[in-house]
Structure 1
């Protein structure tokens, strides 16, 4: 294989070595301004992160004030800060689903590492040392660090690290309606089949060995905003309760308001998870921050045992990051942005289904609130995906960028073959006109690539 032509003018090793990334120089609202004077509507919030857009002066003020007051304290030396305490109270003061304590870290992957270790410590504190197994779902993605990747059922991201990943993890089928349901199978039968599969896996590995069941409440980068059928998470909750395993819900990408409620699980008819991870929308992209939220029973186990959290990070609960994230959460409440997420989300759903779903290479549109996935296929009737090497979602993303729209192309990991997905996740401050522009440009980009594929004889 010939070496990639790596641009020499940058000392950064970019994700694609031969690419020259778009150079962003400024922003306004939900728009990013590039060095070549091209303006882009950020309809993905980066990676579903910039939920308030890119311009919020009060967040900068809050960060500046905190950094002026005190810039850093180390939790391992027994310090806390006003900003960390405030952020935790903003999220947990009403104890949603029994969640009552938080740990703040620097990313979603760090949050998942902490959640996995916390689940293990919970069982150890209770004297249940044999619970070392985690059950996750195929085609899931929980992060890029080795522990988080170990519970991720994403073949492409696992491939070269497979021999380094934990072996105490097994995978069940995801709740992926578009490709998972059998012909003629209704939601009830599909739910029963998935629940039976989870039960069988608990029994196969030994129910008394399972530490936790891990799942994204609404899928992210691997299955592009796939939502569960009604009753799925209630069934998962019941299985976990039955066998004494913890339920870990990964809401790093789908949580903190994207689906129209602060926590995506609040729309699933369950009391809540035992442990939950959050990140992207927590700080809105202004700072790197993630969090682990835990139920009272987890706290009680630690408190009645060693009384010590066997985990920690140098930058845990960083005062500046917590101050900025607290201001993000205040703005969401102050401006009643959850209402806008619901209202504009309904419009986005309507326009995507009316305008984009009928297109020749669009197989499915799915999601909730302002969190939507568009799955591309080479044949709508058979749902046949494009070959991986064609990178159709990336081509559509590039066409959209040229037209002034940023969406998130993600080569997923479908049940039978690789799939092409575009994630559309605009900021919570998006307007009706923004939504109409986003869908209109996305339609044009998909049509552009469709013509190219047809002209090349590939479709």
Structure 2
């Protein structure tokens, strides 16, 4: 795929990267000189590129394509809505598709949430959650509550507000002067890197929660508006699952100090971890929740902000109005597609498959990779898994950032004749160093497809670490194992 690195002079003095066919691109891709591979079609688990290569989509993008690509039922639902109308302004009109989607998702919380507002991206939803927190406390006559406590290594979005909550240092640094200052961070639960030797899980949870309590006291309890966390961490830290009891204790601390609990389930929500909402496995519910990726499964840009009755009551008693909105919010076509995705998940009992295939994926990853000299940790829940790479398995030392291990793994997967798409993550340890990849296939994946993903992943890892610059690979005598799983 060397042509992806080509540049083309357009004859007007400008130079753009060129696509696989040598045509100049006018899209500003993350790497300006390297346009992304162009997809021309997608069906089920597979993407077909412009050059004819077929890629197994092992992640659904960033855990988005939860029922695979090209579903004709969703296409039909979208077309039916378009035949009625495509767009009405959400601040002036209602539409049935948005109402039905909001009712479906709110109902799925079992009475925990009361209302929803619908936007286009996860970053927008987090931004709205911050504004809703502010308005809640203004309406409660507590305007001094402007501070947010979030968690180290977190990523909550790329807008200035959501980036302000994100302690992803490599992403923050260019924009630091523009970010809000009323944010501080505490440790993220990390059973691999954070739990001390000889420390019990209960003791670890106690230590984490005491750190949160101390941060409330340091800031001033009456100044904190909300504690913000991903229920299961996403692309930034790689599928870290909190130890049992952590979120119950966090909920208690928020209640003790009168702060709200915001759970960001943009990536881990709507079934990805085996329950409709990831917090349903934690025994603790948020006041405000964000959702996005598996909500519409990629069939439309849809995100959602959920709030409980306490929030609604405060708004009603206050100004009676949430001063927030987007031009394309509650978009009828996108909501129609999202609602059909959710109906398919329920009808086909796909959450059962998430749990069943998630266990198969876990066993296959452990069987194939746990003895690899450069695999530090394999973690996740449901169909949301990460593999963390280390230079030294004993000390858990990460690779230097300049080696770009996760990006190498991603590119090696795309370069194979039987390609596989893996989602890379860097800065896993401290925001700069540390590498992992995500595996997040669709909810309707089959056992055979699980086995294929793990086999291809293992082969890609083997290819990358066989290079001469990784002598421990050869010294270990490690050889790729055949993937063996049990149904």
TM-score with structure 2 setting the length: 0.91
Q: Secondary structure at the match of 1:436?
A: helix
CA distance in 1, matches of 2:319, 2:83: 36
How well do the aligned residues superpose, as a CA RMSD in angstroms? 1.6
| 2:168–2:431 Cα contact (<8 Å) kept | no
2:480 counterpart residue number: none
Alignment of 1:54-453 (within 5 A): 54-77=69-92, 79-96=93-110, 98-270=112-284, 272-403=285-416, 404-415=419-430, 418-453=433-468
CA distance in 2, matches of 1:95, 1:221: 25
Ranked by relative contact order (alpha carbons within 8 Å, sequence separation 6 or more), the top structure is: 1
Quick check: 403-412 or 282-291, which moved more?
403-412
| Unmatched segments (≥5 aa) in structure 2 | 8-15, 19-23, 475-487
CA distance in 1, matches of 2:184, 2:6: 36
CA distance in 2, matches of 1:418, 1:148: 22
Q: Secondary structure at the match of 1:215?
A: strand
2:17 corresponds, among 7, 32, 40, to 7
The alpha-carbon deviation at position 416 of structure 1 amounts to 8.1
CA distance in 1, matches of 2:108, 2:404: 45
| 1:352–1:439 Cα contact (<8 Å) kept | yes
Q: Secondary structure at the match of 1:40?
A: strand
The alpha-carbon deviation at position 93 of structure 1 amounts to 2.2
Question: Residues 340, 406 of structure 1: CA spacing in aligned structure 2 closer, same or farther, 3 A cutoff?
Answer: same
CA distance in 2, matches of 1:140, 1:416: 9
CA distance in 1, matches of 2:84, 2:342: 21
| 1:156–1:413 Cα contact (<8 Å) kept | no
Question: Residues 175, 63 of structure 1: CA spacing in aligned structure 2 closer, same or farther, 3 A cutoff?
Answer: same
Question: Residues 457, 431 of structure 1: CA spacing in aligned structure 2 closer, same or farther, 3 A cutoff?
Answer: closer
Q: Secondary structure at the match of 2:226?
A: strand
Deviations 1:178-225 (A, max 9, x none): 111122212111111101100000000000110000000000111100
The alpha-carbon deviation at position 162 of structure 1 amounts to 0.8
| 1:179–1:415 Cα contact (<8 Å) kept | no
Deviations 1:112-153 (A, max 9, x none): 000010011111111111100000001000000000000011
| 1:133–1:168 Cα contact (<8 Å) kept | yes
CA distance in 2, matches of 1:97, 1:49: 26
Question: Residues 33, 252 of structure 1: CA spacing in aligned structure 2 closer, same or farther, 3 A cutoff?
Answer: same
Question: Residues 110, 104 of structure 1: CA spacing in aligned structure 2 closer, same or farther, 3 A cutoff?
Answer: same
| 2:136–2:311 Cα contact (<8 Å) kept | yes
Q: Secondary structure at the match of 2:192?
A: helix
| 2:97–2:339 Cα contact (<8 Å) kept | yes
CA distance in 2, matches of 1:94, 1:258: 14
The alpha-carbon deviation at position 357 of structure 1 amounts to 2.1
